[in-house]
Amino acid sequence: MSPGSDAPALRAEQVSKRYGSVLALDNVSLDVRRGESVVLVGESGSGKTTLLRCFNRLVDPDAGRILIEGTNAAALDPIALRRRVGYVPQDGGLLPHWRVQRNVELVPWLRAVENARELASEALQLVGLDPAVFAERWPRELSGGQRQRVAVARALAVKPDIILLDEPFGALDAITRVELQSTFDQVRRTVGVTSLLVTHDLHEAFDLADRVVVMRQGRVEQVSTARELQEAPAGEYVRELLLRARVLRA
């Protein structure tokens, strides 16, 4: 990490992205500090997922720069970058033809790490799954919550500095979701990973975020802590959003 350890873990500089006639990202800038947990919120089509996917180069911006730990992402090999950054999709995305153990070993295996097995076991324990019980199971034999736990374990197995999560708990029932949120929050603090998470659930954002980023139509409306957001919503849109989610009382 030569460009200095004071560089933010993730940085977007005036990033724009257009899909046909739709401007998905409109001159977006954002810094995520090392070890920080930032949550992107907004309605569908606000550009939050597009922004997230810029950080492991699933999306390349049309204009602006993405910096990963101070290095221009455009200069990095996308495959190598993705093996360095953890990723959890909404549906878990476990490979259905691989057992849990092999799923969690995926990134260590891709990076040809020696102790892939141990790393996978550690990661499973970290997310509260006993390897002795779960390692040899098929994904179809797991509950929805267990599957998402495995997906988080898989993203953390090589102990990345950064993890990206795209609505990771969105498809779960309320009780399971709360369980997973607290597990994730705990794990994140334990391993000190920088985390960028996308959600449309403001409660989740408030529970998990050091800072919340409210997005609307490809632009950043406000970046602040949960408390600041409640005390001083920037403009009518953010206020409305908070009111509707009942995190703000009228």
Partner 1 sequence: MTLHAVLLPLLLSASPGHSLQDRPVPQSRPIIVASKPFGESYLLAEMFAQLLEARGFSVSRRPGLGATEIAFQALRTNAIDVYPEYTGTGLLAILGERPGPDPGEVYRRVSREFRRRFGVRWLPPLGFQNTYAIAVRQETARQYHLTTLSDLARVSSRLRAGLTADFIGRADGLPGIEGAYGIRFRAVRALLPAVKYQALAAGEVDVIDGYSTDGFIVRYNVVILEDDRRFFPPYEAAALVSSGFAREFPAAVGVLTELSGLLTEADMRRLNRRIEVDRIPVDRVAGGALLALGITRAAAGTSGFSRTHESGVARYLWDQRSSILALTLRHLLLVSISLLAAILCAVPLGLALERRRGSAEPVIRGIGLLQTLPSIALLAFMIPLLGIGVIPALVALFLYSLYPILRNTYTGVRDAAPDAVGAAWALGMTPRQTLRYVRLPLAAPVIMAGIRTAAVINVGTATLAAFIGAGGLGDLIAAGLALSDTRMILSGALPAAVLALLVDAGLGLCERAVQPGG
Q: Is 48 or 154 the residue whose CB approaches partner 1 more closely?
A: 154
CA 24, 69, 190, 30 torsion-angle sign: negative
Residue with Cβ nearer partner 1 (40 or 229): 40
CB of 83 to partner 1, least distance (A): 3
Residue type, 106: L
Judge contact between 39 and 165, C-beta under 8 A: no
Q: Is 215 helix (H, G, I), strand (E, B) or coil?
A: strand
Give, for 27, the enclosing helix (H) or strand (E): strand 22-32
Q: Are 17 and 189 in contact (CB under 8 A)?
A: no
Nearest distance, CB of residue 33 and partner 1, angstroms: 24
In the bound state with partner 1, the residue whose beta carbon lies nearer, of 12 and 100, is: 100
Reported residue count of the chain is 250
Q: Which residues bind partner 1 (CB under 8 A)?
A: 56, 58, 79-84, 87, 89, 91-98, 106-107, 110-111, 138-140, 151, 154-155
- Please say which residue, 47 or 86, places its beta carbon nearer to partner 1: 86
- Closer CB to partner 1, residue 92 or residue 145? 92
Q: How far is the CB of 236 from partner 1 (least distance, A)?
A: 36
CB nearer to partner 1: pick between 103 and 181: 103
Q: Which phi-psi region, left, alpha or beta, contains residue 54 (left: φ > 0; alpha: ψ -120 to 50)? A: alpha
Least distance (Å) between residue 149 CB and partner 1: 15
Shortest distance, CB of residue 20 to partner 1, whole angstroms? 18
Q: Is beta strand 37-41 parallel, antiparallel or unpaired with respect to 211-216? A: parallel
Q: Write down the least CB distance from residue 211 to partner 1, Å.
A: 24
Burial of 194 (0-12, 13-18, 19+ CB in 10 A): buried
